[in-house]
Amino acid sequence: MVNRYLLLLLLPFIFGSFMYGQNKDFKPEWNIGVGFGPTFSSVDFQSVPNSENANKMRISTKNQMQYHGGIAIRYISEKNIGIIAELNYSQEGWKQNFSKNDVFANLGFEHSHQLNYFELPVLTHIYFGNKVRFFFNLGPKIGFLISDSEKINDKLENYLASGVSPSFETNQYYRMAENKIDYALMAGLGLEFRTGIGNFALEGRYSFGLGDIYKSSKADYFSRSANRVIYGKLTYYVKLF
């Protein structure tokens, strides 16, 4: 597990070293930027396989729309290649999707859980074009949980208080996140427009969680509880030197 995280952290530098020296006449460029956009987040839940969980319904989640934003530093070291480091505040989490179970679909239950992170992505930046650039970003992201909160509507709260069906999964309720550090692999595609007043980068990203929100040993309930996040982002860059 540690080796996998180290490989992800080194990925941008490995790729950058491979490309180094391909364009001797290129003048490197430093940029600083600010970015903002929506997040569409869910969580992949999987239970530890055992006889106790065999008849429980799987927790289904759907995207919860929130927001993220922060600052970025970009260094374009060679033609068509660079590296981006960001510090972002990101709202993530999930909404439970009851519609996939016929028994509970029409009972009016609502449950959501918000996770607030400071995130540090370090991304290899590959681009093509000049004034209008198509680009691809790829690299690891580490997140630090700063707070989380849960919302349960009255109908679900009353159902939980009165006793539940044996098939109804309850281990995600009234339970705050247990792991404060989150790891993920992030990839993005976008267009950048370079103008006289700065550069505007419009991007869509996807983050595939490698860590878990809850503890995931054989003695725990969940074997998997990983973030899945889609980002829309507009970043405004200015050239430093």
Residue 50 pLDDT: 64
Residue 2 pLDDT: 47
Residue 51 pLDDT: 46
Residue 48 pLDDT: 77
- The domains of the chain are located at 29-239
- Which residues in the chain land under pLDDT 70? 1-24, 50-56
CA 187, CA 210: separation in Å to the nearest integer?
Answer: 14
Q: Indicate the fold that domain 29-239 takes in CATH.
A: Porin (2.40.160)
**Mode of pairing for the β-strands spanning 61-62 and 81-96:** antiparallel
Residue 13 pLDDT: 54
Residue 241 pLDDT: 82
- The 3-class secondary structure across the chain, one letter per residue, is CHHHHHHHHHHHHHHHHHHCCCCCCCCCEEEEEEEEEEEEEEEEEEECCCCCCCCCCCCCEECEEEEEEEEEEEEEEECCEEEEEEEEEEEEEEEECCCCCCCCCCCCCCEEEEEEEEEEEEEEEEEEECCEEEEEEEEEEEEEEEEEEEEECHHHHHHHHHCCCCCCCCCCCCCCCCCCEEEEEEEEEEEEEEECCEEEEEEEEEEEECCCCCCCCCCCCEEEEEEEEEEEEEEEEEECC
* Cβ atoms within 10 Å, residue 200: 15
pTM here is 0.87
Residue 101 pLDDT: 80
Terminal CA-CA length for the chain = 39
